[in-house]
Structure 1
Amino acid sequence: MMEKLRHYARLVRLDRPIGIYLLLWPTLWALWIAAQGVPDFTILFVFVVGVVLMRSAGCAINDYADRDFDPHVARTKTRPLVTGDISPKEALGVFAVLGLGAFLLEWQLNGLTIALSVVAVLLAATYPFMKRLHHLPQVHLGAAFSWAIPMAFTAVTGVMPPLSAWLLFVAALLWTTAYDTMYAMCDRDDDLKIGVKSTAILFGQHDRLIIGVLQALTLLLLAIVGLLNGLGGWYWLGLLLAAGFSVYQQWLIRHREPTPSLRAFLNNHWLGMAVFAGLALDYAL
């Protein structure tokens, strides 16, 4: 039993929490801006636990969708569905249980937020299959990872999100597209062989330039959100740190090598944290 639980933990990447962090930071940005400071504890609890559940569910459905591709990719050939430690039906069951758990958790919130949560589940369930259809699965992931932003605003305010919420949504979507392209650069050679599509393949030799443009647009939109919400010096310091991390990531991917590209992807945890730290300090002080 314990051995099976360990396989389930690997399936949902509990040993690799980077996805939780990258989903959590934009969610916290939105909650703090919507509440103009620390949000209600119940709302905060629902969203933090919901982030963990939905990211875990996304990993389960991703591995189910990629079970025929993963054996041919160096980075993924030891996943539990590939090794036979978990069956495809079990992976689907894990996705269903975690997704249902997250959906039931949302019932502590208002009706508008519950309605928006349906979109979140659909985005998470369909993302893994997009790499078969088009070269922009990273944009689809961006929408899935950013959808918590309008949900956070409706949970706090009870009304449809304002303009600044949608600007924050677009900023998070562009940021996700940028860092997931860095991640896709790690697998580009294997993906080309097996026919998987990605922005890393689509952008080709212009990948670093386009990632840079996406990073710049992310920071610009975050700056506009700051102006619209009257945020002050601590927030701008957080954005300055985020800009520094963006430059560092560009340096890491300069030779397009898999290991430094993975490090650049992982570094986005600190970028998201810097923005939140500046935001939280600005409201607190």
Structure 2
Amino acid sequence: MFNFLLSIHWDIKPEIFHIGGFGLRYYTLCFMLAFFLSYVIMLSIFKKEGKTQELLDKLTIYVFIGTVLGARLGHCLFYEFDYYRHHLLEMILPIRMVNGTISFTGYQGLASHGGALGIIIATLLFCKKTKTNFWWVIDRLAIVAALSGAFVRTGNFFNSEIIGKPSDLPWSVVFVQVDNVPRHPAQLYEAIGYVLIFLFLYYSYRKGKYVKPALLLGYFLILVFGLRFFVEFIKENQETFENSMTFNMGQLLSIPFVIVGFYLVFRKTSPTPPINVQKTTNHN
């Protein structure tokens, strides 16, 4: 029997405030904080390794667009394809059309696997445009991507979405906006895990004397998507079609990322020069 009285009751409205036609949601705030802190950390890395802030500014634009488009398309293709294949305009624009009436809804469906692919593609395009080494950039992006994931899952917690399965643990949470059932705070499990992964990756970067290309990316893929795979066992499925599946969509999409991660970590390659030096040649 669920220990309802001892559970944490979470009844926070998703919006912080709403004035006229504008509203600010906790999820949006978490998303912005993720990019801000990622930028600050990446700036310190760029300065340490002799790269310019101008180069980082260009990278930030590419990554932002890649994240949003990739996450959006990932959700539409992986989770709600049956709907969006008949509503292609809604797949790209943050709108919903009902009986000829258009309403602004924002991007209410974003998939982390699509976001990861979007970042990789955006980074490839950025590196081709600026003639910057792809592995150098993606390894450092992996560090802050883990931290960003923690903020995104915190935003999901505020939204009372991506909830966990019923639980009688003392830290169970009743998401009042959903139902009155004590559940695993699965979003926080992932958020805490991502923070720990970020600390591990940042420590590895700071202390590493010789790190082969894509090693940090490999660690990121194994740890982040490995964690995602196992946490899915205590999460409610996001779509009804997943109920008949042995592994849900989030787990199936995580497996290829983990496999690629193991390949990047254990492949044989020559190490790069030290990454903890104070300054290197600028290759802008």
TM range (shorter): 0.3 to 0.5
Of the two structures, which has the highest relative contact order with CA contacts closer than 8 Å and spacing of 6 or more? Answer: 2
TM-score normalised to structure 1 length: 0.35
- If you compute each CA radius of gyration, which structure gives the higher value, 1 or 2? 2
